[in-house]
Amino acid sequence: MKKGMIKVSVMYPNGAGKHFDMDYYKTKHAALIGPLLGDAVKGVNMESGLGGGPPGSSAPFAAIGTMYFDSLEAFQTAFVPHAETIMADTPNYTNIEPIMQIGELTM
């Protein structure tokens, strides 16, 4: 990814009583959002939390999904019309309220 691109991180905090179905997220949720966001998405990463900083500690996030866009406008143009549909799928793979962060790559 190149400097100046927009990175959209969707983070799912870990904790007692929380579940996250990575298989559904990878196969069904990604298949849903891919066509909706189209060519505006320049890259996607999905990660499953394994642990925290100290050895043996729990991961602070059960999962993090990351998408890259050329600009903030490109993200907003692609996402906003489909936000309700995308968010409505969340209960199908998790009971965690996601946290979204939009940032700009600086390196």
Give one word for 56, left, alpha or beta, with left for phi > 0 and alpha for psi -120 to 50: left
The answer to whether residue 20 sits within a structural domain is yes
Domain CATH number, residue 82: 3.30.70.100
Instruction: Determine contact, residues 9/62, Cβ cutoff 8 Å.
Output: no
98, part of any domain? yes
Model confidence pTM above 0.85: yes
**Which DSSP category does 20 fall into?**
B
Share of the chain above pLDDT 90, in %: 98
Within a domain: 91: yes
pLDDT digits (tens, 9 = 90+) for 50-86: 999 999 999 999 999 999 999 999 999 999 999 999 9
86: three-class secondary structure by DSSP: helix
Domain count, the chain: 1
Does the pLDDT of residue 1 top 90, yes or no?
Answer: no
Q: Is residue 83 part of a domain?
A: yes
Question: Is residue 92 in a domain?
Answer: yes
The one-letter amino acid code at 57 reads S
Judge whether 93 lies within some domain.
Answer: yes
- 1 in a domain, yes or no? no
Structural domain that includes position 62: 6-104
Which tens digit of pLDDT belongs to each residue from 83-93?
999 999 999 99
Compute the chain's Rg from CA coordinates. Answer: 14
Q: What local confidence, expressed as pLDDT, does residue 4 receive? A: 93
For residue 48, what are its two tokens?
A: 């499953």
